[in-house]
Amino acid sequence: MIDKNLFRIDKTRPVLIGLAGLGVLQALLIIGQAYFLSKAISALWNGSSVASQTTEMGIFFICFLLRQVLNFLRDRYLDSYAYEQSKVVRQQLLDKVFRLGPNFVQKEGTGNMVTMAIEGIAQIENYLTLILPKITNMMVIPWVILIFVFTQDIRSGIILLLVFPIIILFMIILGYAARAKADRQYEGYQLLSNHFLDSLRGLETLNFLGLSKKYEKNVYGISEDYRKATMSTLKIAILSTFALDFFTTLSVAIVAVFLGFKLMNGEMMLFPALTTLILAPDFFLPLRDFSSDYHATLDGGNTLKSIFNILDKKEFEEQENLSLDAWSEADSLTLTGLTLKYDEEATEKTLEDINFSWKGYGKIGVVGLSGSGKSTLIKLLGGFLEAEEPSIRVNSQLTNHLRLKSWQDQLLYVPQDPYIFHASLKDNIRFYQPQASERDILIAVERAGLLEVVKDLPEGLETIIGEGAHALSGGQLQRVAIARAFLDNNRQILLFDEPTAHLDVETEAELKSTMLPLFENHLVFFATHRLHWMKEMDYILVMKDGQIVEQGTYTELRQKKGAYHEFVEQLKGE
Ligand SMILES: Nc1ncnc2c1ncn2[C@@H]1O[C@H](COP(=O)(O)OP(=O)(O)OP(=O)(O)O)[C@@H](O)[C@H]1O
């Protein structure tokens, strides 16, 4: 009955034990309330004066007050416990997502990850505050009350005992139905999050293609499905509350009827009958509480399950930490028979039998048709992806991925579509070098051909760019990423993935003359379709269908008239 995932949250066990102890205390107070109230009423019934019952009434009120105080303190503690623990879960989720890398987020869907980390965590907080006390109350309070009822009237005790499993059975049946519905609802919710973000991101394209109306209907359709799934979960929730209320009320009524008969036949005194009758609804109350909140907690339970599924995902294998000082002429990188799949279940390998070796500094061009695996190779070198077997050797260390601190500390990666943070242009440029001076930033800006752009910006370098702020063109964004590279000369390994794809020929030519000196005394991997860069490269890798089909210097490849030559001809023909 208890969600196993709860035990993966820190301190759940001691909290549950503490709550169980509180449950016993609560049950004793409930009994105290019923006992002293019945005592006072039966004494009054038997003709005693009100003044003579002040002690009983006083104890009744003390029990009542203590219950409220206990509930208040418990809720306060649980609020802060749930808040702290959900914060921990969020942190664990974010840490894990960072370790799993961008490919994981792409697979799961950014929208889904964002809602999971924001709204999902709020649902977990709600789940923890509701579910923990309800479970413990349900497991403790009815049994303490039942023992007491048996001491007062065995027949009433038997009735309560018999009805309890029937109600539990109903709860289980309806709970399963509700869970199935809630699972569907959660799937709908994930789909909706991803779809909504996807549509927002693609708004420009959709508008351009005249498809925005169609997509609007699509988003509407998905949100309608989600609404229907929610309503159908609610129907089950309402049905189960009704069923539970019906059964408990009926059972209390049966107890009352039997007690009434006994009273009329003179087989029982008013005091025990009244105590039993007052306690009967309290016997069922924890069950009703649990059931009425059960549905409200299903979302939280589902999110917790999804987050733990992510936390259990296999990470890049731990490697002995590579100790690599600044990359130098003496260092070497070797890939031997390297294969890679994006998805473990996929049958096709994205990179296959990659063999390549390099020592020291150098400029390595990576060319190939679209989809040939250039970006994948660059991502592997950036430590975002993992090879199937340990087939990467950095100096003497063999590894299957390059997510190694001393490698990544030297890395500078300029992707096809660089990410620009919502921050000033200046902060975006000095991303790898937060301490860089204004003067150095301006030099980098000039070398990246951004000077004119900076002059046109309303607040120059201080202009806030990125989402929700001043928008830059694709080419300008790429130049911001290149300026980052100009600014940080300490990073020895430079990875470029189509860094000039969005630039016009003139701007690219200008940039090329400033970028090439930057490549000196660095290890550079430069993936591109623009073949004029290849003349400047020391070595070229030609990729096709995930394999390096040819490699060598520019002159060697030109003379060979093999795959590179074919590729050049193919591009000319396009
Ligand atoms: N995140 C991903 N998950 C699964 N498959 C992927 C992913 N990214 C790329 N692929 C697949 O891997 C193969 C190689 O893609 P890659 O992006 O490396 O090619 P590329 O040569 O860089 O192409 P382009 O020049 O168009 O950027 C393609 O078949 C692509 O569909």
Cα dihedral across residues 275, 278, 280, 282: positive or negative: negative
Quick one: tokens of 486?
A: 């100009």
The ligand 1 atom nearest the CA atom of 379: 18
Position in ligand 1 atom list of the atom nearest CA 377: 18
pLDDT digits (tens, 9 = 90+) for 53-93: 899 999 999 999 999 999 999 999 999 999 999 999 999 99
Which atom of ligand 1 lies at the shortest distance from residue 527's CA? 22
Q: Encoding tokens for residue 122?
A: 């709020």
Query: Average pLDDT for residues 292-310, to the nearest whole number?
Result: 82
Q: How far is the CA of 490 from the centre of ligand 1 (A)?
A: 30
User: What φ, ψ does residue 552 adopt, rounded to 5°?
Assistant: 160, -175
pTM, to two decimals: 0.69
What are the tokens at 358?
A: 């390099």
CA 294 to centroid of ligand 1, rounded, Å: 44
The 3-state DSSP class for residue 373 equals coil
C-alpha 143, offset from chain centre: 39
Residue having the nearest C-alpha atom to atom 31 of ligand 1: 371
> Looking at ligand 1, which residue's alpha carbon is closest to its atom 17?
375
Instruction: Check residues 191 and 308 and name the one with the higher pLDDT.
Output: 308
Q: Point out the ligand 1 atom lying closest to the alpha carbon of residue 106.
A: 1
Q: Which atom of ligand 1 is nearest to the CA of 376?
A: 18
What domains are there in the chain, each with its CATH number?
A: 9-309 (1.20.1560.10), 332-573 (3.40.50.300)
Query: How would you classify the pairing of strands 493-497 and 411-414?
Result: parallel
Pocket test of ligand 1: the residue of 103, 108, 342, 377 to mutate, having most ligand atoms within 8 Å of its CB, is 342
| Two tokens, residue 558 | 């030109």
pLDDT, residue 574, reads: 57
Q: Which two tokens stand for residue 300?
A: 């939280």
Q: What is the dihedral of CA 152, 156, 160, 161, to 10 degrees?
A: 80
* CA 351 – ligand 1 centroid, Å: 10
Give the residue, by CA position, lying nearest to ligand 1 atom 7: 342
Measured CA to CA in angstroms, residue 350 lies from 317, 340, 372 at distances of 20, 6, 9
**Nearest partner of 53 among 73, 36, 66, judged by Cα:** 36
Pocket, ligand 1, Cβ cutoff 6 A: 103, 106, 342, 350, 368, 370-376
Ligand 1 centroid to Cα of residue 342, in Å, is: 9
478 CA to centre of ligand 1 in angstroms: 20
Confidence of residue 198 (pLDDT cuts 50, 70, 90): confident
Expressed in angstroms and rounded, the spacing between residue 370 Cα and the centre of ligand 1 is: 8
* ipTM, two decimals: 0.95
**pLDDT tens for each residue of 328-384:** 899 999 999 999 988 777 778 889 999 999 999 999 999 998 889 999 999 999 988
Express each pLDDT in 221-268 by its tens digit.
Answer: 888 888 888 888 778 778 877 888 888 888 889 989 999 998 898 888
Instruction: Name which residue leads in pLDDT, 2 or 488.
Output: 488
Question: Tokens standing for 32?
Answer: 């105290």
Q: Which of 339, 354, 375 gets mutated to test ligand 1 (max ligand atoms within 8 A of its CB)? A: 375
- CA atoms within 13 Å, Cβ hemisphere of 499: 28
For the chain, what percent of residues have pLDDT higher than 70?
97
Shortest CA distance to 255 belongs to which of 159, 372, 338? 159
Q: Measured in angstroms, how far is the CA atom of residue 504 from the centroid of ligand 1?
A: 24
Ligand 1: nearest atom to the Cα of 378: 18
Atom from ligand 1 closest to the CA of residue 348: 29
Contact 353, 524 (CB under 8 A): no
Question: Which residue CA neighbors atom 6 of ligand 1 most closely?
Answer: 342
* pLDDT bucket at 141, cuts 50 / 70 / 90: very high
- What tokens were used for 279? 């306690």
Torsions phi, psi of 501, nearest 5? -55, -35
Q: What is the distance between the alpha carbons of residues 55 and 32, in angstroms, rounded to a whole number?
A: 13
Apex 257 CA angle, 252 and 259, nearest 5: 90
- The pLDDT score that the predictor gives to residue 136 is 93
The encoded tokens of residue 438 equal 């204004």
Nearest CA residue ID for atom 9, ligand 1? 376
- Are 353 and 438 within 8 A, CB to CB? no
Nearest CA to ligand 1 atom 12: 350
- Token output for 2: 């208890």
